[in-house]
Copies of this chain bind each other. A is one copy, B any other.
Amino acid sequence: MSDIQFPSKILENAVNEFSKLPGIGRKTALRLVLHILKQEKESAYQFADAITTLADEIKYCKSCYNISDSDICSICSNPRRDHSVVCVVENVRDVMAIENTHQYQGIYHVLGGLISPMDGTGPDDLTITPLEEKLKSEEVKEIIFALSTTMEGDTTNFFLYRKFQQYPVKFSTIARGVAIGDELEYADEVTLGRSLVDRQPFEKNAL
């Protein structure tokens, strides 16, 4: 499709813009653009406006770096959340995934990435300094690492654990094991092995 002849520069420009999005090829982009053209003009304005507003008005919480409509996000400003427990995550999607479980009452800290020498992401590219400030000034009692079990996640976990050794804080990571509802025979061996080593008293799980 690279040498495709568009009947209109405006159409071509819109297709090019959509093609810049991740996972959207030129054929899909054309389909999306023709869909927008079929709608009322009002829908297109509304769509464009949502994007402009997104770029202009979205903020990042000054405390946890989560996406927010205000300077301090609704989680950090909620007095009913436990501000002594901080869950360290990679990005906003992880916050949303954990919030969706309705199992967590503490606050978050969004790193904005993981340490990855391959991608050129070092500790200075992440929000590690503000996290340390939080440890210094606030009454944080526990840090929960909820990062991916990838090389980057493990590296970041280890880096933070070493860096924050001096603070009187309890460190924990989310439990790894066989997913609920999964058949044992299909679990990968690393996860299955880990689930045996980290076995839990039966009563605790049989609530």
Contact = CB atoms under 8 A, between A and B. Distances in A.
Nearest to A52: B48
Name, among A13, A45, A46, A54, the residue most crowded by chain B CB atoms within 10 Å (CB to CB): A54
Given A4-B100, A53-B10, A28 B20 contact: no
Given A8-B67, A22-B31, A17 B47 contact: yes
A37 B10 contact: no
A153 B32 CA distance: 23
Interface size class of A (residues with CB under 8 A): 35 or more
Chain A interface, >50% SS class: helix
A187 interface: no
Interface string A12-36: 0110110011111000101111111
Given A74-B7, A75-B7, A54 B31 contact: no
A68 B17 contact: no
Contacts of A126: none
A43 to B, nearest CB: 7
Interface string A72-83: 011100000000
- How many copies of this kind of chain does the complex include? 2
B46 A52 contact: no
Interface in A75-107: 75, 91-93, 95-96, 99-100
A6 interface: yes
A47 B36 CA distance: 13
B95 A50 contact: no
A13 to B, nearest CB: 5
> What are the 7 tightest A-B residue pairs by CB atom distance, in nearest-first order?
A44-B55, A48-B48, A17-B50, A48-B51, A14-B54, A48-B52, A14-B50
10 contacts: A17-B46, A21-B36, A23-B28, A24-B32, A30-B93, A33-B54, A34-B93, A37-B55, A48-B52, A48-B55
